[in-house]
Amino acid sequence: MTLEFDQGIVPGLVKETLGEIYFVKAQRPRMLYEDNENTGEIKERPVEFSSATQETMFVVNFPPKTNLDGLSFGDVVELEEVEFRFWISIDHESMSNRAENDLKVSALRYKKTGKNIFQMATSNHVLSAKEKTEPNKGNVKKE
């Protein structure tokens, strides 16, 4: 059985598949080349994210004009107009039947949700050992 996708695009449910998505870091922009010469133009902006559901990191490629300045490590984002494109690379000169393959994830834009996983963790009050053993001691009324 062979799986075939129209133009290599794999249909996917982003929120169901990836869950919450956290910003990790912006990678170096990929540059456009013509005749093996760098044109100085940015081809795409790869950004590393982490998936809560998949428990892995992955790269999303954005258009060249995408502004990434407002993103901080741990920011929760929603990807918009996402495309999953399957690719395969076969080394025909290799002596083995090895092939590299993966999904290339692209999105036209992102939207910050206003949450950051590290700020959420610090905003939840963690009880000290003393507070755990002496509940409500600070709220006791003296008569």
Confidence bin at 129 (pLDDT 50/70/90): very low
> What domains does the chain contain, in order, with CATH numbers?
9-116 (2.40.50.390)
As a whole number of angstroms, the distance between CA 84 and CA 54 comes to 15
Give the pTM. Answer: 0.71
User: What's the pLDDT score for residue 130?
Assistant: 47
The string of pLDDT tens digits covering residues 39-70 is 999 999 999 999 988 889 999 999 999 999 99
User: What's the pLDDT score for residue 5?
Assistant: 58
* Higher local confidence (pLDDT), 59 or 129: 59
